[in-house]
Amino acid sequence: MKQLFLLALICSLFQVTAQNWQQLTDFPGTQRDDGTGFVIGDSAYFGTGMTPWWSVEKDFYGLNLINDSWFSIASLPMNAERQYASGFSSSSGKGYVFGGYNGTQFLNDLWEYNPTTNTWTALTPLPGIGRSGAASFVLNDTAYIIAGKTATSLAINEIWAYSIATNTWIQKNNFPYGNLWRSSATTLNNKGYLLFGRDETNFFHNELYEYAPTQDVWAPISNFPSLGRSHSSVSVINNDLFICFGLDSLGNSHNDVWKYNIAQNSWMNYPGIPSIGRRGGIGLAKDNKFYYTTGIDESNERLFQTWKFDPVLDIPTIEIENKEELLKIVDVLGRETTFQPNTVQLYLYKDGSIKKVLIIE
pTM of the model: 0.84
Statement to judge: residues 313 and 328 lie in one domain? no
The half-sphere exposure of 84 on its side-chain side, counting CA atoms within 13 A, is 24
Q: How far apart are CA 130 and CA 124, in angstroms?
A: 13
Q: How far apart are CA 12 and CA 18, in angstroms?
A: 10
Statement to judge: residues 282 and 228 lie in one domain? yes
Statement to judge: residues 195 and 330 lie in one domain? no
Q: How far apart are CA 274 and CA 102, in angstroms?
A: 33
**pLDDT computed for residue 353 by the predictor:** 63
Statement to judge: residues 176 and 28 lie in one domain? yes
Statement to judge: residues 79 and 91 lie in one domain? yes
User: Structural domain tally of the chain?
Assistant: 2
Contacts (Cβ under 8 Å, ≥6 apart) of 245: 231, 232, 233, 253, 254, 255, 256, 273, 277, 278, 279, 281, 283, 292, 295
**pLDDT computed for residue 357 by the predictor:** 63
Statement to judge: residues 110 and 252 lie in one domain? yes
Statement to judge: residues 335 and 205 lie in one domain? no
Statement to judge: residues 178 and 305 lie in one domain? yes
Q: Which of 293, 256, 117, 260 is nearest to 193 (CA)?
A: 260
What CA–CA distances, in Å, run from 100 to 107, 163, 176, 240? 5, 20, 23, 29
Statement to judge: residues 318 and 328 lie in one domain? no
> DSSP readout, 51-87?
-TTS-EEEEEEEEETTTTEEEE-PPPPTT--BBS-EE
- Give the strand order in the sheet containing 336-337: 336-337, 326-330, 345-349, 354-357
List the chain pLDDT tens, one digit each, 361 residues: 333 223 333 333 334 444 689 999 999 999 999 999 999 999 999 999 999 999 999 999 999 999 999 999 999 999 999 999 999 999 999 999 999 999 999 999 999 999 999 999 999 999 999 999 999 999 999 999 999 999 999 999 999 999 999 999 999 999 999 999 999 999 999 999 999 999 999 999 999 999 999 999 999 999 999 999 999 999 999 999 999 999 999 999 999 999 999 999 999 998 789 999 999 999 999 999 999 999 999 999 999 999 999 987 655 554 445 445 667 787 756 677 877 766 777 766 666 666 656 554 4
Residue 247: strand, helix, or coil: strand
Please give the radius of gyration of the chain, using alpha carbons only, rounded to the nearest integer.
Answer: 20
Phi, psi of 16, rounded to the nearest 5 degrees? -60, -45
**pLDDT computed for residue 13 by the predictor:** 38
Statement to judge: residues 296 and 358 lie in one domain? no
Statement to judge: residues 98 and 150 lie in one domain? yes
Looking up residue 308, the CATH number of its domain turns out to be 2.120.10.80
Statement to judge: residues 287 and 151 lie in one domain? yes
Q: How far apart are CA 31 and CA 45, in angstroms?
A: 16
**pLDDT computed for residue 17 by the predictor:** 46
Q: Are 115 and 147 in contact (CB under 8 A)?
A: no
Range of the domain at 355: 324-361
